[in-house]
Amino acid sequence: MRRSLLIVGLALAALALAWGVLSVARPAWYLRAVYPLAHADAIRAAAARNRLDPALVAAVIYEESRFRDDVSSHQGAVGLMQVLPSTAQEIARKTGGTDFVVTDLTDPRVNVLYGCYYLRELLDRYGGDKVAAIAANNAGESNGDAWLSVAGGKLTTADIPFSETRDYVAAVLRLQRTYRRAWGASLGPAPGG
């Protein structure tokens, strides 16, 4: 009996050690198991159309919805990229989407396309400042504008006074690197690369 317990204990210790090594080394196959990539075709297409890194898009989706396309927030944001209906209606108006209805946001292709369009708008608004764009995506453009003004033109996560948004931005930036490492070429190239 003691020998069986010893064997079980050693096996559990070996598994814990292996898990610990994997969580530190984080090879690409391990990252792919932990960080899924659903709707890859929609992500690649919308990212290319909006000159975005597909890894950034995947990171925003993971942080917003964990790739669940049926999720909605208490603020009313819908789908994979948590697009607000009012934002989507404005995008539809700007892009000639005359047949758009809010329920279209539950379609992953539409949600990712509109989410990418909005992210590109934010990047353009903030002169390519990724931190400012991601912060504004989470906390709103008025907050992004105010924080960028106080920061003197270049926003860092330390400049963001809302801990939720600061954590969100840090997570998205970390996840962008993680998705690029995990999925690499299958995501498609980053713009300019």
User: Which tens digits make up the pLDDT trace of 96-133?
Assistant: 988 999 999 999 999 999 999 999 999 999 999 999 99
The answer to whether the beta carbons of residues 18 and 87 sit under 8 Å apart is no
pLDDT for residue 125: 97
Mean pLDDT of 39-56: 97
Q: Which two tokens stand for residue 157?
A: 């996560």
Residue 93 CA, chain-centre distance (Å), reads: 25
Q: Give the lowest-confidence range in 72-76, 138-142, 146-150, 184-188.
A: 184-188
* Residue spans of alpha helices (H) in the chain: 2-25, 28-34, 40-49, 54-65, 85-95, 108-125, 130-139, 141-151, 163-183
- How many other C-beta atoms lie within 10 A of the C-beta of residue 24? 7
Mean pLDDT of 142-167: 96
Cα 168 from Cα 64, distance rounded (Å): 9
pLDDT for residue 24: 52
Say if residue 190's pLDDT is above 90: no
Cα 187 from Cα 114, distance rounded (Å): 19
64 is catalytic: yes
pLDDT for residue 178: 98
From the candidates 64, 90, 121, 141, which is the catalytic residue? 64
pLDDT for residue 40: 96
As a whole number, the mean pLDDT across the chain is: 91
pLDDT in tens, 12-44: 766 665 556 555 577 999 999 999 999 999 999
pLDDT for residue 191: 84
| 3 state SS of 78 | strand
Amino acid at 58: A
What's the pLDDT band for 83 if we cut at 50, 70, 90?
A: very high
Say if residue 186's pLDDT is above 90: no
